[in-house]
Amino acid sequence: MVTLPTTFTWGAATAAFQIEGDRAGRGETTWDAFCRVPGAVQDGTDGDVTCDHVNRYREDVRIMRDLGVGAYRFSVAWARVQPTGRGDFSAEGLGFYDRLVDELLGAGIEPWLTLYHWDLPVELQLQGGWASRRVVDPFVEYALGVQEALGDRVKRWATHNEPWCAAWLGYGGGIHAPGIRDHALATRATHHLLLSHGRAVAAMREQDADAAYGIVLNLDNVRATDDEAVTRAALPAYDAVRNRVWLDALAGRGYPADALDLLAPHLDGATVVGDMEQIATPVDFLGLNYYNDERLEAADGQVPVGDTVQPGMERVRTADPGAGATAMDWPVTPEGFTDVLRRLQAEYAELGPVYVTENGSAWDDDPTPSADGVIEDPDRVAYLQDHLRALEQARAEGVDVRGYFAWSLLDNFEWALGLSKRFGLVRVDFETQERTVKRSWHAYREHIAASGTARAAEPEAAAGA
């Protein structure tokens, strides 16, 4: 059992497009359009119903209350509260989040709100999406509107979820919406995501100085599995675009030189004097999503420049994950989790305390429950245990990591892989919407109970940390 102090935040995480459903209650997003592209989503599913959470949130909050979490990280669907991404806010759309927040607080669970988890209103995509600077003002307007409606009760705000994915999977590799493959546009998206983050934090802080503001990054280690010169040469480039470009810019150090070697030509004209200062608006916490390390090996040939997900990867590929990989084909690397936490403490402590805002694993669960009605998911239980130990190790070494949110509360829509990949602590039958807890739900509950929770700890900003 991993036991942590009662001030540690234990949570569960989800995202709007992945669980909400109620397609009729919101505007069209880039992900709706992407789901209609033949072959874009592996199993042909979409976000129309998923977990039907908009209609079942009370049950889902009850499941969390029974789990014992003190915090719930969810995202707001921009197109639900502002159907075209601009202009009037929808009272009905905001009403859903209003009820959800009240339900959470009533269950003793603190709401942690993420503003953008990849579902851009399609009208904004028609103007260029994140590749265009025109998206920045609407994002700030959206952030302020949501805060005006919920800020009396929501005190933990994250601007973006995994902007690397939004930029490089969305505009670089074309694997996510909007399905564009253009390194220049992905680079511009990188800059505009960061700029919109800094501007939104500054504006929201003016509205509420007592709340805590942050951003959620997916960071990992990159390692070579062979001794080839091309693999070794790719490691810094990978780290630069995946990790340091975000961390350095947020920490006020500008874009790292080796990232600029790859990206500068694409940034031409995109950066304006003063942007980097705005991007470096201080944050109160850093959200870390960690799943696994990246392992590279030399590829057989060379991919043309521009054809990789991110630049600098033309002569390498992801190595075979080997035995024990998850259903995503991701290797299980808990030691890398400790390493990333150590690195944040050693190199980026100014970004504030770290909260692990996502960590979890997908497995092909056997849907038949055992005699006590629980779905047996031993691999997920082991993954959870190993990663909590890795986190405990980092804390023991002095890393200021203050919370952990399991991904995910529910099986849900796993982006380009659709409903086929299950990350939930709770199984969802997508035909009947029945929820069944898995053994990992019980395991997580025991860790939380052993630690004890002081629910709703004071936000950093209010605490003056």
424, amino acid identity: G
* Residues in Cβ contact with 387 at an 8 Å cutoff, skipping those fewer than 6 apart: 290, 334, 337, 359
Catalytic residue among 20, 110, 123, 162: 162
Residue 431 a catalytic site member:
no
Binding part of the chain for ligand FCB, among 24-32, 34-42, 160-168, 427-435 by CB under 6 A, reads 160-168
Tell me how far apart the alpha carbons of residues 74 and 345 are, in angstroms, rounded to a whole number. 26
Task: Decide whether 162 or 411 has the Cβ nearer to ligand FCB.
Answer: 162
Out of 69, 109, 158, 165, the only residue in the binding site for ligand FCB (CB under 6 A) is 165
* Closer residue to ligand FCB, CB minimum distance, 164 or 205: 164
Instruction: Give 165 or 409: the residue with its C-beta nearer to ligand FCB.
Output: 165
Stretch that binds ligand FCB, among 77-85, 159-167, 237-245, 381-389 (CB under 6 A): 159-167
Question: Minimal distance in Å, beta carbon 186 to ligand FCB?
Answer: 16
Using the contact rule CB under 6 A, the part of the chain among 158-166, 179-187, 191-199, 207-215 near ligand FCB is: 158-166
Which of left, alpha, beta for 252 (phi over 0: left; psi -120 to 50: alpha)?
left
Closest to ligand FCB by CB, 187 vs 218, is 218
Q: Which stretch binds ligand FCB (CB under 6 A): 92-100, 157-165, 376-384, 454-462?
A: 157-165
* Residue number, 17 or 133, with CB nearest to ligand FCB: 17
CB 408, min distance to ligand FCB, A: 7
15 binds ligand FCB (CB under 6 A): yes
Q: Which of 103, 110, 358, 460 is catalytic?
A: 358
Please say which residue, 162 or 248, places its beta carbon nearer to ligand FCB: 162
Q: How deeply is 257 buried, as exposed, middle or buried, from its count of CB atoms within 10 A (0-12, 13-18, 19+)?
A: exposed
Is 146 one of the binding residues for ligand FCB (CB under 6 A)?
A: no
Active site residue 162: yes
Among 50, 114, 161, 440, binds ligand FCB (CB under 6 A): 161
Interactions with ligand FCB, residue window 330-359 (CB under 6 A): 358
Query: What part of residues 249-308 is at the interface with ligand FCB (CB under 6 A)?
Result: 289
Q: How far is the CB of 227 from ligand FCB (least distance, A)?
A: 30
CA distance 363 to 425: 11
- Cβ proximity to ligand FCB, 415 vs 441, nearer residue: 415
Number of residues that bind ligand FCB (CB under 6 A): 12
Beta bridge partners of 75: 114
Would you say 391 and 341 are in contact if contact means Cβ atoms under 8 Å apart? yes
Q: Does 185 bind ligand FCB (CB under 6 A)?
A: no
Residues 399-438 that bind ligand FCB (CB under 6 A): 407, 414-415, 423
Nearest approach, Cβ of residue 284 and ligand FCB (Å): 21
Task: Pick from 159, 218, 231, 243 the residue near ligand FCB by CB under 6 A.
Answer: 218
Q: For the CB of residue 367, give the shortest distance to ligand FCB in the complex, in Å.
A: 20
Binding mask 89-128 for ligand FCB (x = CB under 6 A): ----------------------------------------
Of the candidates 92, 95, 93, the one whose C-alpha atom is nearest the C-alpha of residue 81 is 93
Active-site positions read: 162, 358
Q: Which residues bind ligand FCB (CB under 6 A)?
A: 15, 18, 161-162, 165, 218, 289, 358, 407, 414-415, 423
